[in-house]
Amino acid sequence: MPIGICKFCGQEKELIDSHIIPKCLCAINKNGGMVGVNTKKKRIEIDAYHQNGIKEPLMCAECDNALGKFDGYTNRILNHVIPNLQPQGFMGGPVIVRYLKSDNFDYDKFRKFIISLVWRFSVSSNGPNLGKYEDIALKILKGEIKDDVNLFLPLIYRKITGISLIDDSTLCGHVKYLGKHTIIFKFPGYEIRIIINTKNSSDNELMQHFKTYSDINGIMITDVTEKTPTDNQLLNQFSECQKALFETEYGKKRLAAIKPKKNL
């Protein structure tokens, strides 16, 4: 294991491969190793960075295990508690939501998990530069300052479109939404968008509405049963990379190997 400065405790120690998205949420045993879609080079990559989930040597084992207690707890909530909640209509429309009341789960542990996702991604080599919010996230995780839901607001979606590439994909991304930095995490069955610093957004009324989705009283989870524009973009990117792959000599050999033989 490499020797380096642990991003969490700041001490020089042996570093282990820390998962950006926890391995328990990637369904590795079910789906196998992860692959990356490199849109710039238009290729599908299978490398050490993606095998068994996206990971890097970020922390020492002690600190990684400390965050791991939030991972295991949230995995149970997302994949065993929420799916069994009674679905309900929302605003009289066809959108199905589930509401997890705070008396049915540990709100603090869930919040620490959400903040740890943002922090892990921000300190990784491919993460966004979040400036002071990276340090704020770390201090909240260490218990040095109080949590503030206005700084890290999660929007949680269950992905149940029935399309494996969409529902089971794993990725980390960064976009601007309502004028604010927003981190996207996709892993089998879920997509979580975390808005950084909700104050002074480009649509304060909508932002206030989103704040009702996750507060001390509980969290709201929306079922996504149809492809979204982001999903369509993902499918298009995968298709482009797949096409580019089959244009290579390796790809042509692979394609020839899977073509069905004609009956004589």
CA-based nearest residue to 118, from 169, 74, 174:
174
Q: How far lies 230's CA from each of 17, 82, 100, 236, in Å?
A: 29, 24, 26, 10
pLDDT of residue 173: 87
- pLDDT tens digits in sequence order for the chain, 264 residues long: 789 999 999 999 999 999 898 888 876 545 555 455 555 555 555 544 444 567 889 999 999 999 999 999 999 999 999 999 988 765 545 678 899 998 889 999 999 999 999 999 999 988 899 999 999 999 999 999 999 989 999 999 999 888 887 888 888 889 999 999 999 998 889 999 999 999 999 999 999 999 988 888 889 999 988 888 888 877 787 777 767 666 666 556 544 554 444 443
DSSP string for 136-198: HHHHHHHTSS---TTTEEEEEEEE-SS-HHHHT--EEEEEEETTEEEEEEEETTEEEEEEE--
pTM: 0.82
pLDDT of residue 90: 57
CA–CA separation, 177 and 117 (whole Å): 18
For residue 37, what are the β-bridge partners? 44
